[in-house]
Amino acid sequence: MGKLENRIALITGGGSGIGKATALLFAHEGAKVAIADWAESQAQAVAAEIQASGGEAIAIKTDVAKAADAQRMVEETVHRFGRLDILYNNAGIGEAKLLHLMSEDEWDRTIDIDLKGVFLGSKYALPELMKHGGVILSTASVAGLEGIRRMSHYCAAKAGVILLTKSMAMDYAEYGIRVNCICPGGIGTPLFDTGYENLTPERKERALKAFTALHLLNRIGQPEEIARTALFLCSEDASFITGQAVVVDGGYTAGHRVISNPR
């Protein structure tokens, strides 16, 4: 029996990257999965892959920054599967830019998707979860724990996700709802790649090498590694864990790097 046998999970941003890896793993572990993504064709492809493997999944075109879409994705999940046990607020964007060059629309878009999207998804999922208990998980970031250059809007949003997580955990524990978030370091996803798309091949190689070196394990993580953490936090293995920001970063935030003198 899988760790999520007969559980109903709704995953935002489930059409690619961490969301896709998590949807596939949750289905493998017995969950029925609703895949919400603004890229409908990608969500449908993931759902089809799960169905081809004998699982149950649906795709829902969703803009997590819109209340009507957030409400509809929950309603469609419950209509199709009869209930909701897990909400994984994973959808997010991130684009490097200096604050004084950032437009108000660029600021708003990041906050709306990365932070408001967590609020809206949780707002409409909570009444269902309050009926019988469940789990809310969100993707935060190491960028919510410490500053990152040219990412002020992203850092602000992800820091908000972490404190929103803790506050919701306090408010809804009495309903048997656990609320946690994951703080990934650098993960090899399509979103990660967009940060380097405007660089020449030579500059991209240097930038990737420098960023990789900031991780003590000297590599970028893979979506499947975050998916396995999500599985743990959404399963009974984590039944006594709530209100936590779980860091999965290859040692990125372990401490400041200094160059030691050679012996």
Which residues form the catalytic set? 154
Considering only the C-alpha atoms of the chain, give the largest distance between any 2 of them, rounded to a whole number of Å.
66
CA–CA separation, 194 vs 114, rounded Å? 16
CB atoms within 10 A of CB 218: 10
Q: What pairs with residue 221 in β-bridges?
A: 187
How far is residue 251 from each of residues 44, 159, 228, 256, measured CA to CA in Å?
A: 35, 19, 17, 11
Closest CA to 187 of 46, 92, 64: 92
- Sheet with strand 32-37: strands edge to edge: 57-61, 32-37, 8-12, 86-89, 134-139, 177-184, 245-248
